[in-house]
Amino acid sequence: MIILAIESSCDDTGAALIEDGKSILSNILSSQDEVHRRYGGVVPELASRRHLENIVPVIRGALDEAQRSLDDVEGVAVTRGPGLVGSLLVGIMTAKAIAHAKDLPLVGVNHLMGHLLAIFAEQEVAFPLIGMVASGGHTSLYLVEGFTAFRPLGRTRDDAAGEAFDKVAKYLGLGYPGGMAIEHLARSGDPEAISFPRAYIAKDSLDFSFSGIKTAVVNYVRANPPSDNGMADIAASFQEAVVDVLVDKIIWAAQRNKVDRVVVSGGVASNNRLRERLTQEGKGPGVQAYFPSPFLCRDNAAMIGVAGYHLLKEGRKDEMDMSALSRWPLGEDESGMKKGPDSCPR
C-alpha cells in the first residue's frame, strides 16, 4: 500500500511516499529556518503563509522523486496535531482535497505518534519498547506496546529539551535553531567545567523540567562573563546537564516497565552526546537504544506515513470534517480535547 503523507505542524513543510508502512519512496522537506531565524523562533503567521506557498511543490517533489503519480497513491495521511493550528490546517486541507479528488482513504495522525514510529522506516524493533520524543515542542516518554498502543509515562512540565537548547543558544548568541550550534561548540568544551542543576523533580518522577537550567545558564553568564574557552565550557556543561536527565529517566522508564528496548526520536535525538551516553550507559542495565537517522528524527512526512499506514490498516479512517487539534495528548484521550503541553512553542 502506497501512502502519501503530509506534515505541516510547525515550520517545516513535508511530503513523503511510503510503501507498506516502512519503505521510504521519497521524503521531501522544505525548511523555513531562514524565515524564522531573524525572529529567534517560529512566527505562526509567517509559518502558515510559507506552508501555503510550499505545499504543492513539496508534494509534487515527493511524487517525482518516487517516480509515481497520484494514481499510484492508495491512502493519504496528514498530521492532525498537536501543532500550530494555522500550519496544521494547510496540510489538512490539502490532504482532504487530494483524498476527495482521488477518492482515497484519509487519516489524521498524531505528530508524536509519527516521531515514535519513525524508526520503523529504517529497522524493526520488537514491542514493547520505551519511546521518547525530545524535540522543540515536546519531551515525552511512553510505553509503546504496539504500532497504535501508547501509554504516557512522563512529560515536561515547562520547557521542552529542544526549547531549552534553543533559548540557551539564543542567549549565548549562537543563532536559531540552537541545538546543533550548542552541540558543535560543546565539542571543544569541558562538560564538567560548570555544575548546572539537574532537575529530577521527584525521585520517582518521569516528568521533566528544563526551565531552571536555562535560568541557571543566564545567571552564570551574568556573574561570569565568558572569555577564551568559556563559551564552549558553558555549552558543554549545559548539554551534559540536559543529557544526564534524559538518559537517567529513559533508563528508569525501561527498568520500571521491565522493557529493554528504548527508541529516542525528535530533533534532540540527533544530538551525538545523547546518542553516545545512552548507548554506553544503556549497556549496564541491559537497555538497547535505537535512534532513527538524524533526518528521520526531525519533523518529516515519512514518519507520518509510517503511522498513517498502521492506522489505516486498523481501519482508523477519518472523514472530510476532520479538524486540526492544536493540543492532542497521545494515548490519553483520543478526542484530543484534554489539555496537553503547549505545542511548538519555539
CB of 242 to ligand KG4, least distance (A): 8
**How many residues are listed for the chain in this entry?**
346
CB of 41 to Zn ion, least distance (A): 15
Stretch that binds Zn ion, among 49-57, 118-126, 133-141, 309-317 (CB under 5 A): 133-141
CB of 80 to Zn ion, least distance (A): 13
Number of C-alpha atoms within 13 angstroms, CB side, residue 302? 23
Q: Which lies closer to ligand KG4 via its Cβ, residue 94 or residue 135?
A: 135
Q: Which does 308 bind (CB under 5 to 8 A by kind): ligand KG4, Zn ion, none?
A: none
Q: 343 in the Ramachandran plot: left (φ > 0), alpha (ψ -120 to 50) or beta?
A: beta
Q: Is residue 343 at the binding interface for Zn ion, with CB under 5 A as the rule?
A: no
Q: Which residues contact 124 (CB under 8 A, 6 or more apart)?
A: none
Peptide bond into 177 cis (omega under 30): yes
Q: Which residues contact 317 (CB under 8 A, 6 or more apart)?
A: 105, 106, 107
DSSP class per residue in 89-129: HHHHHHHHHHHHHHT--EEEEEHHHHHHHGGGGT---PSSE
CB of 321 to Zn ion, least distance (A): 25
Separation CA 172–CA 218 (nearest Å): 9
Q: Which does 7 bind (CB under 5 to 8 A by kind): ligand KG4, Zn ion, none?
A: none
Residue 225 CB neighbour total at 10 angstroms: 7
CB of 70 to ligand KG4, least distance (A): 27
Q: Is residue 299 at the binding interface for Zn ion, with CB under 5 A as the rule?
A: yes
Q: Is residue 135 at the binding interface for Zn ion, with CB under 5 A as the rule?
A: yes
CB of 17 to ligand KG4, least distance (A): 21
Which cell goes with 153? Answer: 509515562
Residues of this chain that bind ligand KG4 (CB under 6 A): 10, 135-137, 162-163, 165-166, 177-180, 183, 266-268, 270-271, 298-299, 346
Q: Which does 240 bind (CB under 5 to 8 A by kind): Zn ion, ligand KG4, none?
A: none
CB neighbour class for 19 (10 Å; exposed up to 12, middle 13-18, buried from 19): middle
Q: Which does 177 bind (CB under 5 to 8 A by kind): ligand KG4, Zn ion, none?
A: ligand KG4
Q: Is residue 240 at the binding interface for Zn ion, with CB under 5 A as the rule?
A: no
Amino acid at 294: P
- Give me the residues that bind Zn ion (CB under 5 A), please: 135, 299
